[in-house]
Amino acid sequence: MTKIAVIGGGQIGEALTGGLIASGFDGQDIVVTNRQAERREEFEETYKVKTTDNNQEAVKGADVVFVCVKPYAIVDMLAEINDSLAKNAVVVSMAAAITLDKLEGAVGAQVSVVRSMPNTPMLVRNGMNIVVPGENVTSEQLDTVKELLSTVGKVLEVTEDKMDVAAALAGSGPAYYFLVTEALIDAGVNLGLTREQASELANSTAAGAGQLLVESEQNASSLRYGVSSPGGTTVAALRELEESGIRGAFYRAIDKCVERTRSMN
Ligand SMILES: NC(=O)c1ccc[n+]([C@@H]2O[C@H](COP(=O)([O-])OP(=O)(O)OC[C@H]3O[C@@H](n4cnc5c(N)ncnc54)[C@H](OP(=O)(O)O)[C@@H]3O)[C@@H](O)[C@H]2O)c1
């Protein structure tokens, strides 16, 4: 049975723990760390996992160590747990914008490290996790990491040169869809819908369109053609969006997101 350590039981650490438990992993094979006693109790009660505030103890004997602390804390955290890692352990960093080079530098040359980037739909087990394996990672370790992450959504492996762009689409992506949804709600309210009505319409439409994109055999363009009757109402709305520069805005937004990530590396 795979032994798992989750270092930093915050939002992402909890989402992962919840996904693992819901998929049938035994809580006694998972140890979660947090500095707050109250938070540790919450994990024990809700997920029946082991907890500790001692990160070094937590990683002893763990096959997979998910490090879910904030990016500014990850290098120090890796240095803290380094000597306690099991020989065959694989360390998975969930920290945004921290390169494999930095991660591997912090744990030492022999350790297997996977750089991963989740997104917040992971909280409802519908996330998109991007993974980049470091050079010491065996195919067996990578398969295990992918299997564990797939309890909270989809997993896509990329090479590190693609990570920043992939993260700009999926890691930051939920924010773009939330912004579009907010704008639709305000537009509906502007024309007389109550905020509740507009929210229900926009939220359910976002969820339904998302599900259709993933489940249908058609790509985004064909799905859009399907709701764009010639000379119709939707085409009139789409023309307005195109003339307002929505496509160019997304090209520029993704450029900016990648540029910002690279300035932080
Ligand atoms: N949320 C997202 O949308 C998202 C998306 C992609 C990637 N990520 C990445 O996921 C990681 C976690 O983000 P998050 O949103 O889950 O942050 P978070 O909710 O703040 O969780 C971080 C957790 O780590 C704990 N922690 C910090 N230092 C610790 C230590 N020395 N020992 C034990 N626990 C410690 C914190 O506990 P304390 O309360 O004690 O500080 C907190 O519970 C980040 O690196 C972030 O870049 C997040």
User: What does the DSSP 8-state code read for residue 68?
Assistant: -
Which residue among 6, 7, 12 is best mutated to probe the pocket of ligand 1, counting the most ligand atoms within 8 A of its Cβ? 12
Q: Do domains 4-158 and 173-264 have the same CATH topology?
A: no
Q: Which two tokens stand for residue 8?
A: 């930093």
- pLDDT (tens, 9 = 90+) of the chain, 265 residues, equals 899 999 999 999 999 999 999 999 999 999 999 999 999 999 999 999 999 999 999 999 999 999 999 999 999 999 999 999 999 999 999 998 899 999 999 998 789 999 999 999 999 999 999 999 999 999 999 999 999 999 999 999 999 999 999 999 999 999 999 999 999 999 999 999 999 999 999 999 999 999 999 999 999 999 999 999 999 999 999 999 999 999 999 999 999 999 999 998 7
The contacts of residue 120 (CB under 8 Å, 6+ apart) are 11, 127, 174
The CATH architecture assigned to 173-264 reads: Orthogonal Bundle (1.10)
Give every CB contact of residue 19 below 8 A, 6+ residues apart in sequence. 122, 125, 151, 152, 153
At the top level of CATH, which class does the domain 4-158 belong to?
alpha beta
Count CB atoms within 10 A of the CB of residue 213.
12
Rounded Cα gap, residues 234 and 238, in angstroms: 6
Q: Domain coordinates of the chain in residue numbers?
A: 4-158, 173-264
In this structure, the residue with its CA closest to atom 21 of ligand 1 is: 10
